[in-house]
Amino acid sequence: MKSSAAAILSSLLVLSCALPVCAATKHVYRDADSGFSVQSVNPVMEYASKYSYGFQENTSATDSLNSIAAIPAEVVEKKTGQPFTTREFMARLALEANKKSADKSDYVLFHPETYAYTTTLNTKMEDSLFHIFDQEDLKGAKLSYSTKTVGKRDYYIISMQYPGTLKEDKTVEKNAMDVQVFLTSENNILYVAESFCSAEPVVKEKKVSAANDTNIKKEYETKGINMETAETAMQDPHAVHKALLPMTDTTLSDPKFQKELKKERDVILKGFSFFKPEKAAKPFGMEDSAINQFVILPDEWIYVKCSPEIKDKDGLKLNVSWAAPYTMVANMVTQYSLKDAAADLKPEDFYALYDESVVLASYSFKKKNKDYDYFAEELFKVPQSEMQKALEKILPELTNNEKIKEHAIFSNPKASVTNDGNQITLHFDTNVKVINKFDFLAHSLLSGTRDNGIFSLYIAKGDHMKTQSAASLADTVRLLPEK
């Protein structure tokens, strides 16, 4: 998963926060199989797969998304058609560092086009590890190249500044972007790290006439827009509203903002470490900080985790995450990237690519008050049989609600509840037809004790479960301490 994916997933989870940088306990993500670790301060959002990891700092003043992917030699060779070794890569990097000019290199792994989205959909997660840039964005972007040494680690850097585009009605079509890609290698693995920053451009009115076409072309050129793009813009009567906006019309080029962005990127690079890959002691999965457990996920999946700090009188801690097959997510991102940016993503497009996914939400209380204690004790006193009767009464009222049926029709709904005095668990299964077109199967679980709880919702396209281990993730979570 790269920048676009991270941006889409983080927006789905409504994650955004900008606070001053301050000292805090370090957070470390370690991928033993891929030979890298990432140190951060307090990520408000994380995503990870077997080969990649990305995050957004809660302390970020620039709201940057940062990521790293570990690409094995055989995947690099498949992409480039050439043998790959760390020795050759670092030798090429050394040559670039010694060059007097920072022109585009002839080495394919230093080309931004190598990391552009392809038109084909992915069948394996490794196929999308190179995906960073939209090819159309590259055509209008200002690109620069450099090298950098952080500690004892050398990086080749591809920098892209994309000024953004407007629609004919002067509304923003695509945000401006400031992206840096940091390339290095160890143990015959290509490491691709990225810092992605985006902002909405400021729309400025321009008047166009045949007399000042030449001046406009010169203005575009001085702001890094090539002649071909300027010529195309002049031939389009709506070009002024569709043409690239100057970076100076966004916050991205503000000197103070750029200084802060550089500072944050330097900190991120210092937080990377690389080591010889080793077989992980535990399978792929994620740490759930709310219930202090490791949740195992299918190997070919990716998860996005929201970790907001919630502080109130009850000491509530909340963890929200979403997990799905990596290729499904990558293909959705690819389709979104390759479509006309002005076109809406239709439900049919989403349904065609959707396969299955699961939402997990867990919580815990460090403190409780008298009102809560009373409510909990009364709830756990209710006999299971009475809970089941109440559930069977509510279920038809919910599934046959006319307002709900306008959007979704439930069929074969089944619900059950258990209560052993210490833990209450509710299961709900149903088939759902959404807007009378799209068929899904839903399996949900809500389970809680007096101190913690978990909710899961598994949704698969069609009428049957696909990955049983994913559907039953929440069933494997222990809420009560072992006896």
Taking residues 93-112, what's their average pLDDT? 90
Query: In whole angstroms, what is the distance from residue 64 CA to residue 3 CA?
Result: 10
How far, in Å, CA of 155 to CA of 106, rounded? 17
CA distances from 375 to 286, 312, 378, 382 (A): 32, 18, 5, 11
Residues 321 and 26: their CA atoms lie apart, in Å, by 21
pLDDT at 220: 55
438-448 and 424-434 strand pairing:
antiparallel
Give, for 471, the enclosing helix (H) or strand (E): helix 468-471
Q: Of 63, 46, 52, which is closest to residue 330 (Cα–Cα)?
A: 52
- For residues 359 and 322, the answer to whether their CB atoms sit within 8 Å is yes
**Exposed e or buried b for every residue in 201-240, given b needs 16+ CB within 10 A?**
beeeeeebeeeeeeebbeebeebbbeeebbeebbeeeebb
pLDDT of residue 338: 63
* pLDDT, the chain, mean: 83
SS3 106: coil
7's tokens: 């941006």
Coil, strand or helix: which one is 137?
helix
Q: How confident is the model at residue 475 (pLDDT cuts 50, 70, 90)?
A: confident
Instruction: Quote the percentage of the chain above a pLDDT of 70.
Output: 81
C-alpha dihedral, 144 to 65 to 70 to 357, nearest 10°: -140
SS3 26: coil
> Which 8-state DSSP code applies to residue 22?
-
Query: Residues 253-304: pLDDT tens digits?
Result: 888 999 999 999 999 999 999 999 998 678 899 988 888 889 999 999 999 9
Name every residue whose Cβ is closer than 8 Å to that of residue 179 and which is 6 or more positions away in sequence. 3, 132, 133, 159, 160, 161, 162, 194, 195, 196, 197
- The total number of residues shown for the chain amounts to 483
DSSP character string of 358-410: EEEEEEEES---HHHHHHHHHHHHS-HHHHHHHHHHHHHHHHT-HHHHTTEEE
Residue 7: pLDDT over 80: no
Query: Rounded CA gap, 380 and 423, in Å?
Result: 8
Q: Which of 53-67, 330-344, 428-442 has the lowest mean pLDDT?
A: 330-344
305: left (phi over 0), alpha (psi -120 to 50) or beta: beta
pLDDT value, residue 246: 57
- CATH T-level assignment (fold) for domain 285-476: Protein Transport Mog1p; Chain A (3.40.1000)
* Amino acid occupying residue 379: L
Domain spans of the chain, in order of start: 3-204+245-274, 285-476
Cβ within 8 Å of residue 102, ≥6 positions away? 144, 145, 146
For the chain, percent of residues with pLDDT exceeding 90:
52
What average pLDDT does the segment 345-370 reach? 88
- 3-204+245-274 belongs to CATH 3.40.1000.10: yes
Q: Tokens 């989870």, residue?
A: 13
Q: Does the pLDDT at position 188 exceed 80?
A: yes
If you average pLDDT over residues 74-86, what whole number do you get?
Answer: 96
Whether the per-residue pLDDT at 472 is higher than 70: the answer is yes
Strands 189-199 and 285-288: unpaired
Task: Express each pLDDT in 206-245 by its tens digit.
Answer: 444 544 556 655 655 554 555 555 555 555 544 443 444 5
Supply 302's token pair.
Answer: 């990716």
- Matching fold, domains 3-204+245-274 and 285-476: yes
Q: What is the pTM of this model?
A: 0.82
DSSP character at residue 277: -
* H-assigned helices in 243-366: 255-270, 326-338, 347-353
The pLDDT of residue 190 is 98
Average pLDDT of span 298-320:
80
Cβ 52 vs Cβ 75: under 8 Å: no
